[in-house]
Amino acid sequence: MISSVLVANRGEIARRIFRTARALGLSTVAVYSTADAWMPYVDEADAGVHLPGNAPGETYLRSELIVEAALRAGADAVHPGYGFLSENAAFAQAVIDAGLTWIGPPVDAISSMGSKIEAKKLMAAAGVPVLAELTPAEVSADDLPVLVKASAGGGGRGMRVVTRLADLAAEIDAASAEALSAFGDGTVFCERYLARGRHIEVQVMADQHGTIWAVGERECSIQRRHQKVVEEAPSPLVERIPSMRPALFDAARKAAAAIGYVGAGTVEFLADENGAFYFLEMNTRLQVEHPVTEETTGLDLVQLQFAVAAGERLPPEPPPTVGHAIEVRLYAEDPLHDWQPQTGTLHRFELPADVRVDSGVADGSEVSPYYDAMLAKVIASGADRAAVARRLAVALQQARLHGPGTNRELLVWILRHPAFLAGDTDTGFFEEHGVGGAVDDAVVRVSALAAALADAAGRRTPVRVPSGWRNLVSQPQRKSYRYGDQVVEVEYRLTRDGLVVDGNTALISLDCGQVVLEVDGVRRAFAVAAYGGSSAGLVCVDSPLGSVAFTPVERFVDPAAQVAIGSLVAPMPGTVIRVGVQVGDVVQEGQPLLWLEAMKMEHAIAAPADGVVGELKVAAGQQVEVGAVLAVVGEEA
């Protein structure tokens, strides 16, 4: 019998598992790093055990510390969630050896799927279609393009698409280094790359008595940097080719049976437009995108994991899939700077109540550089796919997300894109359609005006006249904001006749928290929130036109805060993992000079212009803060 469960994870998935555990009457135990001490999941657990340190290698990847924490807190079961140690066979064995119940598949099943190379051989023997493996030495020009993949792990790390044979060796080295850093195993292999493939996966659930369910399929084809962005159930491709579903389900059940699988798992396939599909990998854990299966089947997959671990039997057949569900992954990243992960205080996190939000954060949470940048999974469901997409887009648009930048506008753009609505969602979606969702310049300008007016309203005189009001004609009020790399200048006058500003703009009402403007005869409300003071910090403007975050530009700049022309600064906190140049090297604009690792991803820092490396201020292994000068490129050494 299970009475208390420790979740060997953090953030969103820990909260998700705690929710089901409480419903089952189980007590809960959290583990947390120093950086996570005040995260919501820790407060929601009945008990918490501190894992000193911040980096995963010091904390959530230390199996001995996790097992010790479970025993110390009196837990009798361990749920691994996803990521970290969830697919680590040695950890599962350590949990079992400690006398605890492992809420996961058998150790041998985890081991057999731990290497993608060996997994493909097992699946081929079981009659599951696979793509032929290519050893790097045998790849020829006729095989291109190929995909270099890490044999261990997942999440898009250790993956490279190679289109030129001359690039193969360098890409293999880069993929191997990234895999070694992420998973402790640098083994990579190659396979044929389907540039227009569809990523289809089947949720399986198996009990200890031989029953194996194929619980519907999901499509996760829209990906960026080999990481999923949008997931849905059922798959538009499978819906279009009805004969495909029975074949997929049969292959998934064969895969699970071949390794004696028990518990929740996902068999992932790559399919073409004609319905042919090939085994990619099997994730021996709960998937990030499991909510869309829950929303279309009525199942609680975490509850089933507990039930199966306790030896209960599954019914002979799973429930049918009804309706449609779409999930988007909301990330803390900067759309204005190549989607680099963002850190900092999340001042406000609010989404409408009519969508499901699985999140690890709340108002005031700190987004740290040590872990994945995902803030939440936002899920909508209903009878009709198009209606679900519209409702999810509106919910994202209405969200109040104040703090680090997010990919919210990109998600809205995807959900409203004609190709997405038509179900044309292969893995080349962004290559074909670009990466959209940027806020229009006109929206940025009117949002900056609203921010300036709200700031003036917040500094009213004792007789309630907003700052900048003049009885007689005078110079306009001026305020500057930084939006990405551009500075937005605002000029306006508040007179007895109202707002005077360039363009056909009228002020309808004014308050420090909301400004109503009429632009070209159309009235709209702009909600304005400022953090860190009126002349510094962050100003967030939300409206039906889009959400914009500004940094006020101070009138007098501290010279000590300036950096030399040609400086490369750290766009985020992280660790320098490689330095590719030396002082005196001649470099070209855009050439990668060094690499940072942050939020489980590798980021290249490139030369801002042609020139010579004049200074190197960091070395490999060094931890740096955001804004730190890493190197300086000048015209001469």
Tell me how far apart the alpha carbons of residues 503 and 400 are, in angstroms, rounded to a whole number.
28
Distance of CA 98 to the CA centre of its chain: 34
Q: Which tokens hold the place of 229?
A: 């962005």
Interior angle at CA 391, CA 385 and CA 396, nearest 5: 125
Active-site pick, 285, 356, 391, 408: 285
Closest CA to 149 of 159, 163, 134, 135: 159
SS3 state at 538: strand
429-432 — which CB contacts under 8 Å span 24+ positions?
Answer: 429/221, 429/222, 429/223, 430/222, 430/224, 431/195
Distance of CA 426 to the CA centre of its chain: 19
285 catalytic residue (yes or no): yes
Interior angle at CA 276, CA 263 and CA 297, nearest 5: 40
CB 207 within 8 A of CB 310: no
Neighbours of 3 (CB within 10 A): 12
Q: What is the DSSP string of 131-152?
A: PPEE-GGG--GGG-SEEEEESS
CB 5 within 8 A of CB 29: yes
Tell me how far apart the alpha carbons of residues 162 and 151 are, in angstroms, rounded to a whole number.
17
- Largest Cα–Cα distance in the chain? 87
Active-site positions read 285
